[in-house]
A and B are shown apart, each in its own frame.
Chain A
Amino acid sequence: RKEVEQDPGPFNVPEGATVAFNCTYSNSASQSFFWYRQDCRKEPKLLMSVYSSGNEDGRFTAQLNRASQYISLLIRDSKLSDSATYLCVVNEGGTYKYIFGTGTRLKVLA
């Protein structure tokens, strides 16, 4: 089983749609969780951290379920500019090691 698993997609959605990505992680000792965005041929950049209580940043909502070892990202009112690959990232507790999922590719269509 992969340490961090994501559905690779692609998810093709029309502008204005709501789309959700899921991610599962295998190490129950993981302590920090993130969603990164990677545009084609670019480096990954932090989209948002994921907190136990769930958190929202504009059109983006992230949630963490520690019991199920599951992270989600919800994007509302999708824009063309949201087209990218979204990487689920988990930090193993007590280390500086970040484990990256393979990413979920999103295409927002006009």
Chain B
Amino acid sequence: SAVISQKPSRDICQRGTSLTIQCQVDSQVTMMFWYRQQPGQSLTLIATANQGSEATYESGFVIDKFPISRPNLTFSTLTVSNMSPEDSSIYLCSFLPGLNTGELFFGEGSRLTVL
């Protein structure tokens, strides 16, 4: 199965700054997603990263705050913009190997703390 790597694994950032998280898969995958897991909470889908076009955002998430790139079928980035302490969370990239709604694979996550 494909291997997914995500970086940074953790970071501590100042309020008002932005951080870009990278996700690399070692083979081409059709569907890539970005999730957020706030402390003590479940995973919430931020957006679907579409290759070559704008990401599809879920309710409550907007492009200005969470711009996403997906230049090809193996790579995606999520930027958390103008951060506030409420953005402190774990951000996870994930992918589906094919178009069937089977197993969702996750990167190891990026633990973000905003001071």
Contact B107 A43 (CB under 8 A): yes
Contact B106 A45 (CB under 8 A): yes
Contact B43 A31 (CB under 8 A): no
Size of the B side of the interface (Cβ < 8 Å), in residues, is 20
Q: Per a CB cutoff under 8 Å, which of B41, B44, B101 touches A32?
A: B101
Does chain A have a CB within 8 A of B86? no
Contact A98 B104 (CB under 8 A): yes
Does chain A have a CB within 8 A of B103? yes
Shortest beta-carbon distance, A93 to chain B, in Å?
9
Query: Quick one: closest A residue to B40, CB to CB?
Result: A102
* Chain A residues positioned under 8 Å from B108 (CB to CB): 42-43
Q: Which residue among B31, B109, B111 has the maximum number of chain A CB atoms within 10 Å of its CB?
A: B109
Q: Per a CB cutoff under 8 Å, which of B41, B45, B107, B109 touches A98?
A: B45
On whether A44 and B101 interact (CB within 8 A), knowing A96-B33, A96-B48, A97-B45, the answer reads no
Proximity string of chain B (87-109) to chain A, C-beta cutoff 8 Å, 1 when within and 0 when not: 00000100010000111101111
